[in-house]
Amino acid sequence: MACNNEEWQVAGRRKGAARRGQHPSNPKLDSHQVSDCKLDKQKMTNAMNELRGEDVWMEWRDLLSKRLLSNASGSSDLNGDASLQHCVCYGLGNFASCVSSRYQLAMLLLLLETLQIPVGSCSVYDPVFSASECDALKELGFTVLTENEEGKRPVYQPTLFYLMHCGKALYNNLLWRNWTPQTLQKIIIIGNRFHGIQERMLQREFERDYSFLSNVTSVCDETPLPCAPRFMDVFNDTALIQFPLEKLNKLPETMWIEPSEPLYQHCQDLEIIQRERKS
């Protein structure tokens, strides 16, 4: 599509994107930035109100409520006893100018509301966010990260990761950073189907370059999420992905020993913008 989340995916073709996306450290905003912030926030409010009346949202709401919210008896598909109170979102893109990104952010806001996750407990980051977009996100209540984590975020409590059309390396890095069965079971992803990623790659390259992603594809639970034709460019090939402990324990024990950090030496197009390394 014309404007999707390729800001995270195609670093090689947009080398200046990371620098352009950094917002100034000066907390004082000029009148133009304030105006842009208000406009961005209004666009988001409009998109959220529009999406709320769509069948695709109602289907997502019903499915995810059933899978992720504890019911009256206290049961849900969440692993462990803790409720879902944390969320991380990477790679939304420029939602002020891109309609697809705007609907994805609107969906995130509706999900947080439905899943009873405080907006302030949701951290968001994309290196291409403009200053006004960062300010709009803060106005909406989000925690805006200032560091490019490359997906390498440690998880300590059940956490929802909202990763719409993000690069394979981002998923792979997240899995590597939390590479134990006990920790992976706390991760819930709404993002690209792992099996879809596998189908679009040569198996040998998938196993070589994205080994953590490759290793869990056979044992994760994927629940496809509905996508209406109107929103095909926005929510296509999206699934709820979970990692049941009983399935993770079926993998060989040797697979969990001393996992090496991914280096992606053979990847010419890594699909994510990496943070600058200090020499």
Please tell me the predicted confidence (pLDDT) of residue 30: 62
Q: Span 102-120, mean pLDDT?
A: 97
Q: Taking the alpha carbons of 75, 157, 250, 171 in that order, is the dihedral positive or negative?
A: positive
76/160 Cα distance (integer angstroms): 15
Over 70: is that where the pLDDT of 73 sits?
no
The angle that helices 131-140 and 31-52 make with each other, rounded to 10 degrees, is 50
Ranking 16-20, 152-156, 236-240, 254-258 by mean pLDDT, the lowest is 16-20
Whole-angstrom CA distances from 246 to 150, 184, 257 are 28, 12, 18
Q: Please report where in the chains the tokens 């420029």 appear, as a residue.
A: 94
Which DSSP category does 159 fall into? E
State the pTM of this model. Answer: 0.85
The stretches of 159-244 forming alpha helices (DSSP H) are: 168-177, 181-184, 194-199, 203-209, 211-217, 232-235
What local confidence, expressed as pLDDT, does residue 78 receive? Answer: 64
Cβ atoms of residues 171 and 194 within 8 Å = yes
Residue recorded with tokens 């819930």: 188
Express each pLDDT in 156-186 by its tens digit: 999 999 999 999 999 999 999 999 999 999 9
Q: Over range 216-224, report the average pLDDT.
A: 97
pLDDT of residue 26: 46
CA-CA distances (angstroms) from residue 234 to 7, 102, 158, 195, 261? 15, 9, 26, 19, 31
Could you report the per-residue pLDDT of 269-278, keeping only the tens digit for each? Answer: 777 677 776 5
**Of 20, 22, 12, 38, whose CA–CA distance to 146 is shortest?**
22
Mean pLDDT of 10-23: 34
- Evaluate if residue 91 carries a pLDDT over 80: yes
Task: In whole angstroms, give the CA distance from residue 244 to residue 181.
Answer: 9
On whether the CB atoms of residues 269 and 167 are closer than 8 A, the answer is no
